[in-house]
Structure 1
């Protein structure tokens, strides 16, 4: 792997590959160095995209052009605030802005290098969530939270934001969606989600939702074929089947952009909170449908492989009920198929059997015969 060689050239350690994600003209690869003075998570960025300021090693070609940037977490050059919100000595400043004092525990819950991070701050048993984004994006993120709340969408309240790329929101209220799904019927869960989706359509914003998964057909298919090469033929067939159905039809509406059971909290049969609305804006409602069904199906597979048969059955029922209720056009089925491929790509990093089963689900959705 070229990124591994670049890392070794920079720090004398090759590290263990963890993940890689497309970015710009290249990608950002993550490695873990287990021991020694360089222990930690390192990132090799071959995108060639500019950064506000360098925070690590820079490798250039003979003409002086940047070939790669290499940094150690949390020194992401595109997310300069990440260092602040993971540094105990600097966290008090953020907590004070929310009216709290005392010891703070910080835990990184999600991190997409170069794009965003979510850090949970815990103080006196109370959680605050810090969204770390690129400088200049925080105001827009705070604004979509406010616009959602004004329209009745139960998004978390923003208590503080800074132009440096920090948005602080309060904790969600209610029972987490995956737990609620074990306490409510599939139809009751979908009724609650439908009400939430209707609330989103009343949000006043000109913001554009996250790009549709349908815009990256080739990347998804090629990437899964590279990690499951024995199934490349099925994936080629799948690509051909999906191409005619990826063009959006109808007017745009405000959507969540990444809607799934893990994004919602419920109380008294209704959605009481919805999180991660960073992706919200004008888009195709089919994308939210596909994200929800794809996630439920992939979660069912993960539970099945882990031996949690009851949870797997509940999630399969939720996904199948949503398919029966919501999937009325080939485009929605095509987007759901792509979401399943995306989940399979991620699963392949740690559990190839789960990846195979997710691909099986994708093939079944398109009525394509499996090879195994």
Structure 2
């Protein structure tokens, strides 16, 4: 679909569990609501809940957002910083991540150097404040074994968080390099995760994954189109046999695309939005599940993906002194693969029906491993 000046226009549609006509009516200029279907359709970036992102669609307001974030009184001094924005990730009505490069036109002092990259994250109201708290806590606790991007500013009016860009080599790239380089990167990742799991849980986090597992199952069943609802059956089987384990602070979305290997050999950990508490095996299993997803989608060699997961788990156990029983890891791997089974559709993969089925089959296989 073409937008202004022939540029592509990204639309998103959302199905609601209940009627939201009253909420949507406030945004009728750019949102079309179908009450009989409970579906709202909007063009990006006119998001129904991300008010800061909506404002950022207008150049004048985008410059004001940056001016507030960088602490300058002259919003036009950041014109070129805004012009180079690149969309990194977008979850409608939840959050949006944009990358920019800092170019001060008038040489004012700021937290970044000229031409340095930054990330601007827009949140639904109140979510951004929680993420700022997480970044500050983990920035203080990290340093030797892991580093999180420094929060530079939070603009409450726009629910916009400004973060420095982590410099280094993405772990995803390291996994495709020589085995020696991949081993070094995975050892650094394991060291970071061990240190992370040893931190005191000094932040308000959720500790139950029940709703997330059930929600993923509903989505996967919809994609599979199987009237017997096998994903829901797997979810209920998982929740009936949750393994007992020690509780630790978890990243919640730990995988190779969230990790940057710095020149100093220390891992930079990105995206603290899914921070939670639970079994340390959860983070390890999600790394393995994401690597398997990349293999299914043809983004990495399948043998390399399997090896990377095993090597990370072995390195983690050796460094932490914790032995994680295979059956416990298989439980978390099955749950993680169930969540990952929606990814081919979310990423607009041309063969998403078969890829969804393949990932769900892997989730069932991991569950069978748990039962053995």
TM-score range, shorter chain: 0.7 to 0.9
- The residue correspondences of 1:39-50 to structure 2 (distance < 5 A) are 40-48=10-18
Q: What does residue 82 of structure 1 align with? A: 53
Q: What does residue 99 of structure 2 align with? A: 120
After the TM superposition, which of the residue ranges 268-277 and 134-143 deviates more from structure 2? 268-277
1:231, CA displacement in angstroms? 10
1:72, CA displacement in angstroms? 3.0
> Does structure 1 conserve the Cα–Cα contact (< 8 Å) formed by 2:172 and 2:256?
yes
> Does structure 2 conserve the Cα–Cα contact (< 8 Å) formed by 1:300 and 1:312?
yes
1:130, CA displacement in angstroms? 0.9
Q: What does residue 55 of structure 1 align with? A: 27
> Does structure 2 conserve the Cα–Cα contact (< 8 Å) formed by 1:120 and 1:127?
yes
1:245 equivalent to 2:244? Answer no
1:142 equivalent to 2:132? Answer yes
- SS of structure 2 residue aligned to 1:109: strand
RMSD: 3.6
Cα distance, 1:234–1:255 mapped onto 2, change above 3 Å: closer
When the two structures are superposed, what TM-score results if normalisation uses the length of structure 2?
Answer: 0.74
- The residue correspondences of 1:1-372 to structure 2 (distance < 5 A) are 33=1, 40-48=10-18, 54-56=26-28, 57=31, 69-96=40-67, 97-98=69-70, 101-103=78-80, 104=82, 105-124=84-103, 125-152=115-142, 153-164=146-157, 165-183=159-177, 185=180, 187-200=183-196, 201-202=198-199, 205-209=202-206, 212=209, 214-229=210-225, 235=231, 238-239=234-235, 242-246=238-242, 249-267=244-262, 270-303=265-298, 311-322=301-312, 327-348=324-345, 350=349, 351=351, 352-367=353-368
> Does structure 1 conserve the Cα–Cα contact (< 8 Å) formed by 2:192 and 2:267?
no
State how far apart, in whole Å, the 2-side matches of 1:262 and 1:254 are.
20
1:186-211 per-residue CA deviation (whole Å, 9 max, x = no partner) reads 55344322221233232562220585
Aligned residues: 326
- SS of structure 1 residue aligned to 2:125: coil
Q: What does residue 106 of structure 2 align with? A: none
State how far apart, in whole Å, the 1-side matches of 2:91 and 2:262 are.
30
State how far apart, in whole Å, the 2-side matches of 1:180 and 1:61 are.
48
State how far apart, in whole Å, the 2-side matches of 1:259 and 1:330 are.
20
- SS of structure 1 residue aligned to 2:86: strand
Cα distance, 1:246–1:91 mapped onto 2, change above 3 Å: same
1:95, CA displacement in angstroms? 3.3
- SS of structure 1 residue aligned to 2:121: strand
1:238, CA displacement in angstroms? 4.2
The structure with more strand, counted as a fraction of residues: 1
Cα distance, 1:273–1:324 mapped onto 2, change above 3 Å: closer
1:79-109 per-residue CA deviation (whole Å, 9 max, x = no partner) reads 1001233433333234333267341312221
> Does structure 2 conserve the Cα–Cα contact (< 8 Å) formed by 1:209 and 1:279?
no
State how far apart, in whole Å, the 1-side matches of 2:207 and 2:44 are.
25
State how far apart, in whole Å, the 1-side matches of 2:232 and 2:116 are.
49
- SS of structure 2 residue aligned to 1:288: helix
After the TM superposition, which of the residue ranges 186-195 and 35-44 deviates more from structure 2? 35-44
- SS of structure 1 residue aligned to 2:47: coil
1:158, CA displacement in angstroms? 0.9
1:175, CA displacement in angstroms? 0.7
State how far apart, in whole Å, the 2-side matches of 1:160 and 1:233 are.
45
Q: What does residue 29 of structure 1 align with? A: none
1:242, CA displacement in angstroms? 2.8
1:111-154 per-residue CA deviation (whole Å, 9 max, x = no partner) reads 11121111112344432111111222322211110100100141
